[in-house]
Structure 1
Amino acid sequence: MVNVEFEWFNFDPEIDFHGIKSLLRQLFDVDATLFDISGLADLILSQHTIGSTVKVDGKETDAYAFLTALNLQEHKSKKPVADLIQYLGSKAQATDSLAAVPALLESGKHVGLVLAERLINMPSEIAPPMYSMLIDEIEAAVEDKEPYEFSHYLILSKTYHEVQSNLEMETERKRKKAKEEAPLFFFHPEDEKLYEHAAAYGSYPFTKEDEAVADSKRAFQEMGVRTQGSMILIEAGKFAGAVKAINDYLSPPS
């Protein structure tokens, strides 16, 4: 067992650009090439007081995890956000359980897009304090008349199915059947609790899914992994309760 001390920091544009950019690429997976990831990272870093990074070797190092919230309505004219809104709307429109999302994105309401990602081997226990700090930061920003009074939070994440690994070409029928029958897993355990407080949630296939080969993602196991994007829509009034549920679920015993 190795003892590691995690530290939380505000965003610093002079230090965090490459680390946040790398984590955003991981979050958007094969669809990352569809977006201006550099522009999105710059926008995140411009919000010094909203969101946080987690590091282990001091402030000057790259982030191992981050979490933030962007006001989609406030930034809709910026191309990185406009492209993201269009993408999310099209994905939600094609997913029955996310039918409420497209109209909300077009309504003019202030929706907080929560972006959160961490390195694969990071412990899930870092999530509760990050979400708790986000609530405190947003409350402070609202008191200062900053544009963070959201009607809803839309959390982006990823889910995955385990699929039978096979280096030979499978028929479309077999792949479809396996996808339908395979259970859904969460990359972020906290998403399971967020689902319980959601007004809408669902997974969607990546646009460039065919470019992702499940066998290349095997980690010395008999099963491959097929990743999907995930959206979780939570009404602002229920967000604090969802964060409390995350704390109760993931916080280490005292």
Structure 2
Amino acid sequence: MASSAKRRQLDPAAEESETEEEESGDSSGESEQEVQQEVQVDFEAHTISDSDHNGIKRLLQQLFLKASINITELADIIIQQNHVGSVIRQAEILDGNNEDGDEDDIFGFITVINLTERKGMESVEQIKELVLSQSKSHHQGTAEQLDKILNDNSKPVSFLISERFINVPPQISLPLHKQLQTELMDAHKSNKPCGKSHYYLMISKTYMEVGKKNMPQQKGKVKEELMFTNAEEEFFYEQSVITYSYSVQEDSDSCLSGRWSFDDIPMKPLRTVMLIPADRINAIINKLEEYLTI
């Protein structure tokens, strides 16, 4: 069972945009009106608990889409090691009038899974197979390098997962990443499996303009061609030692795929794999503080 919840407000100014359609009741056949509203929403971070299982699976599904990953087992692992990581919830409403929401709804989560320590588990091996198989189509040298790193037990690799719904603002990522690093240091001191990592592996939801013939191969082109659904992950990209992108356009047949257009320009959904040395995380967090602090 999960431990008692840690709770803190992540971003008191966070706003969640909603679009509501109101259909006129006038019998004259008046067309529907689209009304843009900004709804003030406060978010809090909580300890991951058993009740988050379905919400975590839903967020994992938006990352992996149709890839052959046992997301049920992956969600079990995340809940089992709830001494690291957090889920994002809407802050409690003081008057208790929360009839429109489910207290178990989560808007996102962050955690790490030590792939080296959990070697042999089905979901872990499937994640490794996914990134290796996609890297082979990118460049054989990249595939060989990544395969060597993933199988080097002396330098543990952890899978860093930071998933949230698209309308949750990036500012909340800063306290989440800082809290996660604090928890990982505590886990390392107590010799827990997830506490030590030499590398972090990430799979980021990205997209680029339809019609671009090639995936961006040079980091200098990232701002020109590659766009990140979670904006802060560009800083992880810049610090990565291995990175490549692959298309998930054929898998993206539902709303889980994220944006299909950007300023009326059709976009191609991608996944971008990144391998980041653990000793670069502090530099990344410093960048997050510089650009995301309100």
Normalised by the size of structure 2, how large is the TM-score? 0.72
SS in structure 1 of the partner of residue 213 of structure 2:
helix
Paired position in structure 2 for 1:11:
48
Compared CA separation, residues 195 and 145, structure 1 to 2 (3 A): same
Compared CA separation, residues 103 and 2, structure 1 to 2 (3 A): same
Alpha-carbon deviation of 1:162? 2.5
SS in structure 1 of the partner of residue 39 of structure 2:
coil
Paired position in structure 2 for 1:149:
196
SS in structure 1 of the partner of residue 120 of structure 2:
coil
Equivalent residues of 1:161, 1:227 under 8 A apart: yes
Paired position in structure 1 for 2:122:
79
Paired position in structure 2 for 1:25:
61
- Equivalent position to 1:62, from 105, 130, 133: 105
- Equivalent position to 1:136, from 182, 195, 209: 182
Unaligned segments of structure 2, at least 5 residues = 1-37, 93-101
Amino acid at match of 1:249: Y
Alpha-carbon deviation of 1:107? 1.7
Alpha-carbon deviation of 1:178? 8.0
Alpha-carbon deviation of 1:234? 1.2
- Equivalent position to 1:125, from 171, 174, 187: 171
Compared CA separation, residues 62 and 196, structure 1 to 2 (3 A): same
Alpha-carbon deviation of 1:141? 0.3
Query: Which protein has the larger Cα radius of gyration, Structure 1 or Structure 2?
Result: 2
Q: How far apart in 1 are the matches of 2:85 and 2:275?
A: 19
Deviations 1:180-234 (A, max 9, x none): 898221111111111222222221223xx434469x9646964322111112211
Amino acid at match of 2:79: L
- RMSD over aligned CA atoms reads 2.6
Q: How far apart in 2 are the matches of 1:42 and 1:188?
A: 24
Alpha-carbon deviation of 1:110? 0.9
Amino acid at match of 2:234: E
SS in structure 2 of the partner of residue 49 of structure 1:
coil
Paired position in structure 2 for 1:226:
268
Deviations 1:125-154 (A, max 9, x none): 011111111100000000011122111111
Alpha-carbon deviation of 1:98? 4.5
Amino acid at match of 1:72: L
Unaligned segments of structure 1, at least 5 residues = 164-174
What are the equivalent positions in structure 2 for 1:51-200 lying under 5 Å apart?
A: 51-58=85-92, 60-96=103-139, 98-99=142-143, 100-108=145-153, 109-147=155-193, 148-163=195-210, 177=213, 183-200=225-242
Normalised by the size of structure 1, how large is the TM-score? 0.83
Q: How far apart in 2 are the matches of 1:30 and 1:45?
A: 23
Query: In percent, how many aligned pairs have the same letter?
Result: 30
Q: Which has the higher contact order (CA 8 A, sep 6+)?
A: 1
Q: Does residue 45 in structure 1 map to residue 75 in structure 2? A: no
Q: How far apart in 2 are the matches of 1:220 and 1:73?
A: 38
Amino acid at match of 2:137: A
Amino acid at match of 1:69: V
The number of residues matched between the two structures is 235
Alpha-carbon deviation of 1:177? 3.5
